[in-house]
Structure 1
Amino acid sequence: MTAAGSLVLPTDDDTRALGRTLGRSLRAGDLVVLTGDLGAGKTTLTQGLAEGLGVRGPITSPTFVIARIHPSLVGGPALVHVDAYRLGGEAELDDLDLDALLEESVTVVEWGHGLAEHLAEDLLEVVLERSGSEEGDQQARLVTLRGVGGRWRDLPDLAPEIG
């Protein structure tokens, strides 16, 4: 079963706000797969997710370390933040032993499309695309949320939190 919805986010702050709202609805065992080109806002969204979860930061792209674990500051699940950009395939992702952490944490995999879906039956895929023209240093993003499995049968209503 899948559910889907899209939003336009005019600024980085709006992208973080979406992440905060979504982060408040995440729980241990959730897998979030982020897809989008370089600069599309995957790490910006993850910063908001981390704020919503109440985990220790700072949240930066784990491109060179591949994965970081951010423990909770509020008694909730840890955030496991993975950047699969440099991984050569599903086997290299499996070498990270994410499945050992999956049940007790929230796992976010940037560049995970086509690599991370096998980690859980239920997952939330977030596709970020640049949209429209740039204003200053900001560019609007089109964000599509696609829930897979019973956990995401109904996507949270996120639109009122943005803007």
Structure 2
Amino acid sequence: MGTQMTVTVETPERMNRFGRALAGLLRPGDLVLLSGELGAGKTTLTRGLGVGLDVRGAVTSPTFVIARVHPPLSGGPALVHVDAYRLGGGLDEMEDLDLDVSLPESVVVVEWGEGKVEQLSEDRLEIRIERALGGAAGEGEDDLDPRQVTVSGLGARWDGVDLTGLSEA
């Protein structure tokens, strides 16, 4: 395992800032897997990544299109945003999306990718978002509940990468 850190993210605005800070660590070819319950903040984090990577188009949940490509506005990598929630076939279905073609020159972010896309790259960033106070989505105003965000860098790409700056985002 490369490197790991956990940070408490108190608000959706801070989750967005966390995504912007994370973008500064990413480079073309990086695979990011986001996991967490419905409403945990995966798309909010990805929206911040899009701002940090300076890509075109509003980053929204790609649930109905499964994958959305956001081209760069300023010479950085494109952002490929994938929602694997409805894909039950794992890597076979993911291969139909040609993500392996996009991976070398893009940053690929896969929501709900756990157990489905790890074979795309042994070097990947896994981010788990959990409600710090427990409880499920839809129980009142818990969109403002703090989140525990655990970032794990796997593979040689992430060996020695300093993630501590994310805690100040």
Shorter-chain-normalised TM-score: which range?
A: over 0.9
Q: Give the conservation status (yes or no) of the 8 Å contact 1:4–1:155.
A: no
The reply to whether residue 36 of structure 1 matches residue 43 of structure 2 is no
Q: Which residue of 1 aligns with 2:94?
A: 93
CA-to-aligned-CA distance 1:119-156 (integer Å, 9 cap, x gap): 01200000000112886751210000011011111242
Aligned residues: 162
Q: Give the conservation status (yes or no) of the 8 Å contact 1:18–1:158.
A: no
Structure-2-length-normalised TM-score: 0.90
What do you get for the CA RMSD once the two structures are aligned?
A: 1.6
Runs of 4+ in 1 over 4 A off after TM superposition: 133-137
Cα distance in 2 between the residues matched to 1:97 and 1:138: 36
Q: Which deviates more, 4-13 or 134-143? A: 134-143
Cα distance in 2 between the residues matched to 1:136 and 1:67: 28
Structure 1's 55 and 136: CA in aligned 2 closer, same or farther, altered over 3 A? same
Structure 1's 159 and 31: CA in aligned 2 closer, same or farther, altered over 3 A? closer
Cα distance in 1 between the residues matched to 2:24 and 2:133: 29
Give the strand-richer structure, 1 or 2.
1
- Counterparts of 1:134-149 in structure 2 under 5 Å? 137-149=143-155
Cα distance in 1 between the residues matched to 2:166 and 2:72: 26
Structure-1-length-normalised TM-score: 0.94
The one-letter code matched in structure 2 to 1:145 is: V
Cα distance in 2 between the residues matched to 1:4 and 1:27: 18
Cα distance in 2 between the residues matched to 1:36 and 1:92: 21
The reply to whether residue 161 of structure 1 matches residue 164 of structure 2 is no
Q: Which residue of 1 aligns with 2:119?
A: 118
